Structures are given as C-alpha cells and as structure tokens.
Amino acid sequence: MKKVIITADSTCDLSEQLIKQYDIRIAPLGVSLGDHSGFDGVDVTPEAIYDYVKQTGVLPKTYACTIDRYSEVFRSVRDEGFECVHVSISSGFSCTFQNACLAADEFDGVRVVDSLNLSTGSGLVVLEAAIKAQEGWNADEIYNYATALTSKVDASFVLDDLKYLVKGGRCSAAAALGANLLKLKPCIEVKEGKMGVGKKYRGTMQAVVRQYTKERLSQPGVKYKRDRVFVTHTKMDEGLAEIMIEEVKASGLFDEIIETTAGCTVTSHCGPNTIGVLFIKE
C-alpha cells in the first residue's frame, strides 16, 4: 500500500507548524495588488493587503489556483511514489476545486475532496485527513472519511466592520451605514458550501465576541468533536482574540485550541477584526 500525502490550497489557513508537522503540500492562490501579482502566503501577506487598501482604497483581487500549478503539485507527489488526497476550498466559492479536478484527471492515485468550506473550515478537514494519512490509512479510506466530514464542519466568523464587504461589492453602502449606526456586527456562516449572513449582533466588539462564542458552543442538540477547535482571525485589536480563547477554554468542550491567522483570501474579503470559532460536530 502506497503512502498518502495530503495536499490543499492556501485558503485552508493552517499554520506553517501544522503544515510541516503533517507534511501537507500547499498550492497557493494568486493575489493581485494593482501592478504587483504574487501568491497567497508566499510573496503576498495580509499585512500587504492592509497597506494596499489603505493607500489605494481598492481591494486586491484573488485568483484560483491554476490547473498547471495543481499539476505540478500532484506530479511532485506521484514522482515521490505516493498517492494524493487533495482538499479544496468549496466549489461554491471558487473554480479552484474544478481546476484541481481537471489536474487530477492527468494522474492515477489523486483524489479531490470538495471541503464545502473555506479558511480553517476546510483546514479542519485537511488536518483530519493528514492525521489519517500518518496513521496509515489508504487513499480511498481517507477520501471517503474526509468527504463525510465536510457536512459536519461548523464554520462562521463575526465581522466588526463591513468596509471590505462594501469595497468587494458583497454588501451595499446603505446596508453598511445602517449596520454602523446600529452598531451591528454580522455573523457570516458557511452552509452547504456557500456563505450567508446569520445572526446580527449588537454592541461593542468585545461583548459581541463573548456572546457569539458562547452561542456557537451551546447549540441545542449539537455534540462537539473534542479533538480540536480553531480560533481563526484576521488582524485584531488587542485583547479580542484572547476573549474568544478564554470563552472556548471555559466551555471545556475541546482538548486542543488552535489559534491561527487567516490568510489573504479571508483578509481581502472581510478585513481586520474578523474572528471565528470553527470546529467539527459529531
């Protein structure tokens, strides 16, 4: 039985430490900052995005990972004598999944999972698949397990400000003005592979983070998979991430809390002070 390597695109928002620990191979999405084009997490960082938006008032553009780039990643894995299970950002968000499938068709022993998610929502599936690969599961077993997990991921973020959504055309200026006047902080939820607006919280961001976290971790009838939970965020005001981590610890639901910073995709769509608690349901 051949060893299995897990691959993913850069939107999974896993830390360098986790990527190295589980030998996960990453295919980065493209990012364009005006005349400068680069790759997510390689030569374009969230800080560069903030600087660019501050200077120009314009959001960067993100691009799907190309078929050729995926072919390079998959060929590298196959040339090492391994099989590959790739976990992609939701097909509902990007043609990245389609490109991965087209590239995978060129090779034997490459399977592609539609995570139906983004950020560490897909990262949770990537990590679970990588753990099973290290435990010696074969490619079919990992593919089936990861595919079944996609419907069990609970992924959401609460936003402090709607400026980036307005700039990206995902929210009207009038709606943003109303939200700001009422001090509303919307919760963006991922369901069935697509994003939608959930509850709209009201108050200071500190109070909203506490309320949001408590509510996500006390859903009626939900059994939480204990292994791990992600606290994932963009650039935050001091103390906000710590408030969420404190609430997650107080819940006693998880064995491991992993804090990670969102990459260029979430940053360019949602902006600073965006934070979420993401986990898998049993």
Convert the pLDDT of each residue in 188-201 to its tens digit: 888 888 877 788 89
**pLDDT given for residue 233 in this prediction:** 97
Higher pLDDT, 125 or 171: 125
Q: Assess contact for 92 and 121: CB atoms under 8 A.
A: no
The pLDDT confidence band at residue 93, using thresholds 50, 70 and 90, is confident
pLDDT at 177 over 80: no
The answer regarding whether domain 4-151 maps to CATH 3.40.50.10170 reads: yes
The CB density around residue 245, as the number of other CB atoms within 10 Å, is 16
- The torsion region of residue 212 among left (phi > 0), alpha (psi -120 to 50) and beta comes to alpha
The pLDDT confidence band at residue 160, using thresholds 50, 70 and 90, is confident
Q: Assess contact for 275 and 209: CB atoms under 8 A.
A: yes
Q: What residues does each domain of the chain span?
A: 4-151, 152-280
Residue where the block lists tokens 């979430």: 266
- What is the arithmetic mean of pLDDT over 50-68? 89
pLDDT at 163 over 80: no
Q: List, for residues 230-282, the tens digit of each pLDDT value.
A: 999 999 999 999 999 999 999 999 999 999 999 998 888 888 899 999 999 99
SS3 225: coil
Of 54-63, 77-86, 92-101, least confident by mean pLDDT is: 54-63
Contacts of 79 (CB under 8 A, 6+ apart): none
**pLDDT given for residue 173 in this prediction:** 39
CATH class of the domain whose range is 152-280: alpha beta
Per the structure block, which two tokens stand in for 9?
């695109």
